[in-house]
Structure 1
Amino acid sequence: MKIIVAGVDGYIGFALTQRLLSKGHEVLGIDCFLRRKEVDEMESKSAIPVADWRDRQRALEAEFEGHFSFVEMDITQSYDRLRKLFKEFQPDTVANLAQQPSPAYSMIDQSHANFTQINNVKGFNNLAWCMKKEAPESHMVTIGTMGEWGYPNVSIPEGFFRVEREGRKDILPFPKQANSFYHVSKIQTSDNAWFLARVWELKFTDVMQGIVYGSRTREMNKPELRTRLDMDEAFGTFVHRICASAIAGHPIPLYGSGKQKRPFLPLKDSVQCLELLVENPPTDDDSIMGYRVVNQLHEWYSLDEVAEKVVDKASEIGIDVQVEHIENPRIEKEIHHFEPEVEKLPNLGYEPSTTMDEEIEILLSDLNDNTERVENLGHVIEPEVKWR
């Protein structure tokens, strides 16, 4: 297959690109290096050294000769150039990971809120217009978040549910409840995908992804092919931040009660799932009018349960770390029901390849190999962005 990966330099994008190339696909990567700039803005950097892009590109080209190409581009600013790429490359699938992915970053101030929503919605729209004009038979896999659903007091279906009201029945999109300007941007993107599937008959897979964690996949066999791993409050996902806290000698910060439940997915399984979705476009059996919604997660825990796993694994390598409950900077339910349905990915062949305990052990080991670097970044762990 011929696949465009927008956001190729990112945490998941770089790992997914390697997986797709290892399976013999041809990949055109696009990036404007927004993630690197945003992490710099947070006065942070990857806790595990990450090669600059040119070294990464050369490593991919050497490892997968003739199957990888790259274009530096901001997809929100270069529509005509992007459309020309679609016309020339003729992708079978587009993987849209070119997004501002942080709730905290979107809540810093008015400027960051507006940037997040404009960037995420405009980037998706430009890709969709290119599909319509130049590759209408292609399929887009776009990354949403399980956070779009909020935390309803009922089970969360994969996109749609049956409704009966005043004697009438219908199948409707399940309601969404945003918890940040970022989450609102993802809901807007989901609504646009559902709209365009109906009016333009394009095919979309909308991935409601859990919190992804992990420092490596099997393809990352040399330093230039390692993905980034952030630990700051905006771009360090929960598991990464608390593992880094243990290595930095910093108490593990739990927001409020720590009883909030969250869905999790190892990076190894994230790329496995995305590979399956890229290679298997929506069908009449798993979509409505070409719009497929997938809950992409492996397991779910309360945050204090994950913290306890990190405490236990850290103790095995001689690190004593404490848990500290701090004031919750977010506005959220701390005790809530959480029961997502996960059927479509197992039906495509997804099988979990690892466990959280195994991945935490690898994470701690990789971070411990970079102790001085992690300790020097200890100042970015404590939250400063407030939702109020």
Structure 2
Amino acid sequence: MRVLVLGGDGYLGWPTALHLSDRDHEVAVLDNFARRGYDTELGVQSLVPIQDLDTRVAAWQEVSGRQLTQYTGDLMDADFVYQVLREFRPEAIVHFAEQRAAPYSMIDRAHAVYTQQNNVIGTLNLMYAIAEIDPGIHLVKLGTMGEYGTPNIDIEEGWLEVEHNGRKDRMLYPKKPGSFYHLSKVHDSHNLEFGCRIWGLRVTDLNQGVVYGQQTPQTVQDPRLATRFDYDAVFGTVLNRFVIQAVLGEPLTIYGEGGQTRGVLDIRDTVECVRLAVENPADAGEFRVFNQMTESFSVAQIAQTVAECFPGPVQVEHLENPRVEQAEHYYNVKHTGLVGLGLQPHLLSETLIESMFDIVSANKDRVDLAALLPTVRWRGGLKDG
């Protein structure tokens, strides 16, 4: 199958491209390298050194004998998007090409506006290109579990059967996002469902939980194939932060009491979920939603798991929560769709022991301790008066 991976230079896009290529798909990667620009803007870097895309692509061909087609450009440029689709003629498109960090979107007005413009308009350009060039293309779009928020009812897979005043209907699950980034993903979902309904597009929306891990069977074949390991307070994950703090002998910094619960999954499961979605496409006119997660933990439980798996003493420190979110909440997510397609999940405790502590230990000299501290407050982007 011909698969175009948008955001193919990123943390998930790059290993996804390799995973699909390794399964004999003909893969092209597209990126505008904005993610590398965010590092420059924020003065941070991936814990694990990463190569430029040209070097990565050449290394993959050397290691595997397989070639990746490259495109450099921006989804905000509609003419470019149309050109790529006409030239490569993908049968499936995997869309990772959005600004992905909630804290980045909450820095100030400019970052909120940028996030929504980049994410929503870029996806709209892509939708129109698919509808006008080949509506049969299956779009696999990365969403987020954060679209749902933390409702006091079970979270279904995208859709909800509702009975109201004696009448029933099936509608998109109500959304209660927690940042301007998550709001952009909600706008995407509504736009994409609309495109399926009126144009007959075929879309799989992967509402993904927090991804952990840095290695896949493909990336470990050569150091030049490594993907990112983000740990800073803007783009890093809480798990990466905890692992680094444990290795360095620093206290694990929990925001608030740690009752915030989220869905998580291993990066190896992420790339496999995408493959399963690509190889089992949605029907024409179908807006299909998978909740892409394998386990759920509170922040305090993640800290406890790190402490139990780490071969040494671990301390915990509680910080004021810079975010506006519920400290304790109900969280029960249905996530059977991908398992039904054959996903065999990895477990957090296994990945910690197998690789994450070793990855951090090998690169601990690259850690900037100041980058671990929260710098973005959800109300901090507002001007007084």
TM-score interval (norm. to shorter): over 0.9
Is 2:289 the counterpart of 1:293? yes
Match of 1:360 in 2: 352
- Within 1, Cα distance between the matches of 2:245 and 2:51? 23
Match of 1:381 in 2: 372
Q: Secondary structure at the match of 2:329?
A: coil
> Are the counterparts in 2 of residues 4 and 28 from structure 1 also a CA contact under 8 Å?
yes
- What TM-score, normalized to structure 1? 0.95
**Where do 1:174-213 residues align within 5 Å?**
174-213=173-212
Amino acid at match of 1:234: V
> Are the counterparts in 1 of residues 207 and 289 from structure 2 also a CA contact under 8 Å?
yes
Shift of 1:302: 0.9
**Where do 1:242-281 residues align within 5 Å?**
242-281=242-281
> Are the counterparts in 2 of residues 264 and 297 from structure 1 also a CA contact under 8 Å?
yes
1:287-340 CA distance string (max 9 Å, x none): xx41001100000011111111112222x1x4x331110000001011100001
Match of 2:152 in 1: 153
- Within 2, Cα distance between the matches of 1:363 and 1:355? 13
> Are the counterparts in 1 of residues 74 and 80 from structure 2 also a CA contact under 8 Å?
no
Q: Secondary structure at the match of 1:100?
A: coil
Match of 2:382 in 1: none
Is 2:13 the counterpart of 1:25? no
**Where do 1:227-238 residues align within 5 Å?**
227-238=227-238
Choose from 343, 350, 368 the match for 2:343. Answer: 350
1:339-358 CA distance string (max 9 Å, x none): 01111111111111x21112
Choose from 298, 302, 307 the match for 2:303. Answer: 307
Q: Secondary structure at the match of 2:141?
A: strand
Is 2:314 the counterpart of 1:321? yes
- Within 2, Cα distance between the matches of 1:328 and 1:25? 44
> Are the counterparts in 2 of residues 260 and 335 from structure 1 also a CA contact under 8 Å?
yes
- Within 1, Cα distance between the matches of 2:226 and 2:171? 42
- Within 1, Cα distance between the matches of 2:336 and 2:243? 30
> Are the counterparts in 2 of residues 145 and 186 from structure 1 also a CA contact under 8 Å?
yes
**Where do 1:126-137 residues align within 5 Å?**
126-137=125-136
1:187-243 CA distance string (max 9 Å, x none): 000000000000110011111000000010111110111111011011111211211
Unaligned runs of 5+ in 1: none
How many residue pairs end up in the alignment?
377
Shift of 1:54: 2.0
- Within 1, Cα distance between the matches of 2:200 and 2:153? 31
Shift of 1:60: 2.4
- Within 2, Cα distance between the matches of 1:281 and 1:86? 18
Q: Secondary structure at the match of 2:157?
A: coil
Match of 1:215 in 2: 214
Unaligned runs of 5+ in 2: 380-385
- Within 2, Cα distance between the matches of 1:85 and 1:152? 40
Amino acid at match of 2:88: F
Shift of 1:66: 5.4
Match of 1:51 in 2: 51
- Quick check: 52-61 or 115-124, which moved more? 52-61
- Within 2, Cα distance between the matches of 1:275 and 1:167? 41
- Within 2, Cα distance between the matches of 1:341 and 1:64? 37
Q: Secondary structure at the match of 1:116?
A: helix
Q: Secondary structure at the match of 1:171?
A: strand
Shift of 1:139: 0.7
Shift of 1:165: 1.1
Match of 1:106 in 2: 105
- Within 1, Cα distance between the matches of 2:211 and 2:175? 21
Match of 1:11 in 2: 11
- Within 1, Cα distance between the matches of 2:154 and 2:33? 38
- Within 2, Cα distance between the matches of 1:218 and 1:328? 36
Shift of 1:40: 2.2
> Are the counterparts in 2 of residues 295 and 342 from structure 1 also a CA contact under 8 Å?
yes
- Within 2, Cα distance between the matches of 1:250 and 1:141? 40
Match of 1:334 in 2: 327
Amino acid at match of 2:110: S
- Within 1, Cα distance between the matches of 2:250 and 2:122? 38
Taking only the aligned residue pairs, the percentage that are identical comes to 38
- Within 2, Cα distance between the matches of 1:49 and 1:211? 22
The alignment's C-alpha RMSD in Å is 1.2
- Within 1, Cα distance between the matches of 2:276 and 2:253? 35
> Are the counterparts in 1 of residues 8 and 96 from structure 2 also a CA contact under 8 Å?
yes
Amino acid at match of 1:251: P
- Within 1, Cα distance between the matches of 2:145 and 2:176? 10
Q: Secondary structure at the match of 1:253?
A: strand
